Chains A and B, each alone.
Chain A
Amino acid sequence: MHTYATALARSGVSVPDHLVADAVVPILDGPQAQGDLMIVPVDAPPRGLAWETVPDAGIQVIYGEATGNTHWLHRGLDSPSVRWVFDRHGVRLGYLEVAPDNSALLIHTDEHGANGIGPGYYAIHRKRAQDVRLTRPGAEYLVAD
């Protein structure tokens, strides 16, 4: 079982003072949100993707240390079989596969804490907003908090 502190230790960061360090990170298999990211269960990702096993160092799903907006993907406890593939399209960043009896962790190094992810297939989506520039009605832009 991961607590927030043990989860964040995976990314080499300590718990921000304002969050509860020993809060248990629940492992869930439904849709979960982490700030501007959404973990969405999918039936099956498309075939032919170049999957990679999530390395010990984790994967930066969103890179942006300058903005503090860094979401890390890690394997959970006793979870050798967690795979990820970047497959960007629209708001989608890529797909996640968590094998039976395995778990994954999505960790935000600043304000959003950690989410535990149970067995299954998922897509991770970013968040968008309506672009209100009147010259380009209906356009969209991606949100980075």
Chain B
Amino acid sequence: MADWVRRCHATGPLTESARAGVEAAIRTCYAAAGLPWPDTVVWVPSPQVGAAAAPLAALHWAPQSSRWRRRSRRHEAAIADTAVRIFAACAGPVHNAVMGRLDARSHAETAAGLSPLDRLRTAMYRPLPPAAGPGLTRSVTGAVRSATGQAPPAETVAPVRGFSGYQKSSDTPHCEWWLRHGGLDAVDEWRHRFQAWIGTWPVEWWAHPRFVMVSEPPAEMHLETLPDGGLRLHRDDGPALSWIDGESAAFWHGVEVPLDLITEGWPVERIHAEHNSEVQRAAIERMGWFEYLTRAGLELVARCPDPGNPPHELALYEDPEGRIGDSRILVMINGSPDRDGAPMRYAEPVPAFLGDPVEAAAWQYDIPADTYRHLARRT
């Protein structure tokens, strides 16, 4: 487990020997797939640069890089094909051997022991289409020149479209665990290749017959620990990930969000204009539900004394415009004040079918409303 946390959460810049280790692992992957080693390894400072530069370099090597071919995206297929061949040679046999030998029962039995590995996935990052700043354009141009000997035509560099490297499957840590502990002798011959494959996990990389592009891991990574011990990308005062070239990515409790949502917070109008509902909810949480219901003009449905928590009240709100879907917002006040002595107010979404604040509070703890009415004490 600790090995995988290190692999998935590596930070850069990598030392010379770490880079050499990654390059050797990638070379082993090429050899295992029966592919000639391209001898051109281009290190880029961030996955944003690689995501933009790798397809442009591939375009250079595509036969007749005409407009039609560019639209057909066959140059990107060259990267995808190489990736598939390497995966099939290095990881596929182990995945198949391990998965094929596990029946449903042993899956269930080991699920508890292996579940920490599943949590790794929440902290993995796949680069999104970056905004093409002048610095990024320069880095992309440099990377393409290193891979092809020629700078790409300027108009192809901006705006760039994201193109991520390998998708790292959470099956791989599972398979590695089985290789270590499962006594799978039949797959011994694949062990070497598989080790090379997982040796590339700290970096993002793009494999092509004529070049390999490799991105530095982030220089800074901010994670939060969940109550169950899992890890998640999160930072409330800046980008959770940043790379040496100044590229960054912001996360709110594991959800990738625009940076200004974190650093400035969004006004209600901007929140309602957002189409991605995960981002929308992150923005509301960043503002706080109580602040949100005040600013968004939600209407009071009902209020009543909070049993066991005098002199405080419970209050239930709804949005007459239906912007929060099938939810209402329940506001309750903590039994104990916060460190400034002020009452701590919580506002949380509950299902809209609840019309009575006590029923809503009882729903939150999944107990009968009558039990909540007899609450003896709240701290």
Residues of A within 8 A of B (CB): 16-19, 26, 28-35, 38, 40, 62-64, 66-67, 69, 90-92, 108, 111-115, 125-135, 137-138, 143-145
Contacts and interface: CB of A to CB of B under 8 A. Distances in A.
Contacts of A145: 346
B16 interface: no
B378 A33 contact: yes
Interface in B247-295: 277-278, 281, 284
Contacts of A63: 227-229
Interface SS, A side: loop
A33 B308 contact: yes
Given A18-B340, A90-B366, A138-B326, A64 B349 contact: no
17 contacts: A18-B339, A30-B376, A30-B377, A33-B308, A33-B379, A40-B367, A64-B227, A111-B334, A111-B338, A112-B334, A115-B377, A125-B365, A128-B363, A129-B349, A129-B350, A129-B364, A130-B327
Nearest to B326: A137
Contacts of B377: 26, 28, 30, 32-33, 115
Contacts of B1: none
B348 interface: yes
Nearest to B226: A64
A115 B376 CA distance: 10
Given A32-B308, A143-B348, A132 B379 contact: no
B21 interface: no
Contact of A143 (B225, B339, B364, B372): B364
A133 B336 contact: no
Contact of B376 (A18, A28, A92, A113): A28
B100 to A, nearest CB: 31
A132 B366 contact: no
A32 B375 contact: yes
B367 A18 contact: no
Contact of A134 (B325, B346, B365, B367): B325
B225 A138 contact: no
Contacts of A91: 365-366
Q: Which 9 A-B pairs have the closest CB atoms?
A: A30-B376, A64-B227, A66-B225, A38-B365, A130-B349, A129-B348, A113-B379, A33-B378, A28-B376
